[in-house]
Amino acid sequence: MAEDEALSQSQVEGLLKAMEMGQPSPQAPAAPPPATASSNGPRRAAPPPPPARKSAPDRVTPYDFKRPERVGKEQMRAMHSLHETIARNFGAVVSGMLRTMLEVKLLSVDQMTYSEFVFSLDNPSCFNVIEAAPLEGNWILDISPVLSYAVIDRMLGGDTEPGPPIRRPLTEIETKLIGRLVKAFLAELHDAWENIVQLTLKIQSVESNPQLVQIVPPNEVVILICFEVTLGKNRGMINLCIPFNTIEKFNSQLSNNGWVGRVRTKPTPETRAQIGSNVDSAQVEVVVTLARSKIRTGDLLDLTVGDLITTEKDVALPMELSVQGVPKFNARPGAYRGKKAVRIDGIIPT
């Protein structure tokens, strides 16, 4: 800008307004570029200066003072690893209980306020208030209605196909049935927290409306652990809510990874003997295959008592004995105390 050039009133007001709005200020009218003289020709204008680069805006991270981050990242990682073990063990236990495959997966571990947790749940729901002695305060175990009714249907002999959605509270009988699932979860929760604190967990009450239960103030920080459970084509959520003030004094154990000691312990003779006794009492299916052959459907339908079926197997060859569908031994037919039996001659090489 030339020394004798002054800004007009409108230009001054535009600059002030741009500063208040946080926008780049409008450029003042630039003086005409100075002309350069050439010895071989007329005077010509100098090239304009390159445009200035715009600075990148600073990133602003919003911070909500109503939701202070009270739980550190190290504690959150410890909680995540701790409850991954619960997901695996709980899935195996409930699969045996329901006699069908059930998959449990840990989805997330977050911290939020208690009011946010309550208003994110379904209503009605299976809302279990858990007493966790010797901790001061209660925990919450919430089971979504889709999962609750699917588990109850399977316990009563139904299949795993999803049915129409049911929007009503659990009856007294249904509450007793779903209590078996809750007790199985609490048993795994007790074992996982064993190296941090010896918990005595029991169901204090079961509610259908989560908004009517207030175990902590609405703005209190809680840790929410979300499990996704897949039963056939049904998929539901199990939410474990742990108020931070109940476990705040155990932060040092979580920070020092004291909870991993249970995984690193070596097996003792007592644990080996217990596992051996459990395996010894397990029942397995034993099947002996006499021979294998092919036959037409028409001949199969015409079979009557006394007919003979010829096979390609030599009568002198041993039979195959399978355990749980896996061929294990070579055997020969015989009798023992008036009953048909087989004698094991050897092990089938794998």
The domain spanning residue 225 has which CATH number?
3.40.1550.10
Do 149 and 246 belong together in one domain? yes
Domain contains 15 = no
pTM for the full predicted model: 0.56
In 3-state terms the chain splits into helix, strand, coil percentages (rounded to 5) of: 35, 25, 40
Which strands, in side-by-side order, build the sheet including 234-243? 102-113, 221-231, 234-243, 138-143, 126-133, 200-207
pLDDT of residue 262: 46
Domain contains 156 = yes
**Alpha carbons 200 and 191: distance in angstroms, whole number:** 11
Domain contains 122 = yes
Domain contains 60 = no
Give the number of other Cβ atoms within 10 Å of residue 309's Cβ: 10
Do 161 and 244 belong together in one domain? yes
Do 197 and 292 belong together in one domain? no
Do 336 and 196 belong together in one domain? no
Residues 6+ positions from 98 with CB-CB distance below 8 Å: 151, 154, 155, 231
Do 239 and 91 belong together in one domain? yes
- Please report, in tens digits, the pLDDT of each residue of the chain (350 residues total): 444 567 777 787 788 777 777 555 455 455 555 555 544 555 555 556 655 555 555 666 665 555 556 677 888 888 888 888 899 899 989 888 888 888 999 999 999 899 999 998 888 889 999 999 888 889 999 999 989 999 998 888 887 677 777 888 889 999 999 999 999 999 999 998 888 888 899 999 999 888 888 889 989 999 999 999 998 888 899 999 999 888 888 877 776 554 444 445 677 888 888 888 878 878 888 999 988 888 889 888 888 998 888 888 888 889 999 998 889 999 999 898 889 899 999 998 87
Do 251 and 165 belong together in one domain? yes
Q: Tell me, letter by letter, the H, E, C secondary structure of 30-58.
A: CCCCCEEEECCEEEEECCCCCCCCCCCCC
Do 117 and 234 belong together in one domain? yes
Mapping DSSP to helix (H, G, I), strand (E, B) and coil, where does residue 229 land? strand
Domain contains 24 = no
Structure token pair of residue 173 = 């009988």
Domain span at 322: 285-298+311-347
Domain contains 272 = no
Do 156 and 116 belong together in one domain? yes
Helix-helix angle 145-155:73-98, to 10 degrees: 30
C-beta contacts of 99-105 below 8 A and 24+ residues apart: 100/154, 100/160, 100/231, 100/232, 102/229, 102/230, 102/231, 103/229, 103/230, 104/227, 104/228, 104/229, 104/230, 104/238, 105/227, 105/228, 105/229, 105/230
C-beta contacts of 87-95 below 8 A and 24+ residues apart: 87/227, 89/188, 89/191, 89/192, 90/184, 90/185, 90/188, 90/227, 91/229, 93/184, 93/187, 93/188, 94/181, 94/184
My answer on whether omega of the bond before 145 falls inside 30° of 0, hence cis, is no
Do 183 and 213 belong together in one domain? yes
Residue of 201, 245, 251 lying closest to 223 (CA atoms): 245
Do 232 and 124 belong together in one domain? yes
Do 130 and 201 belong together in one domain? yes
Domain count, the chain: 2
Domain contains 41 = no
pLDDT of residue 129: 93
Do 321 and 205 belong together in one domain? no
My answer on whether omega of the bond before 169 falls inside 30° of 0, hence cis, is no
Domain contains 79 = yes
CB burial string 284-297: b at 16+ within 10 A, e below: eeeeeeeeeeeeee
Residues 6+ positions from 230 with CB-CB distance below 8 Å: 102, 103, 104, 105
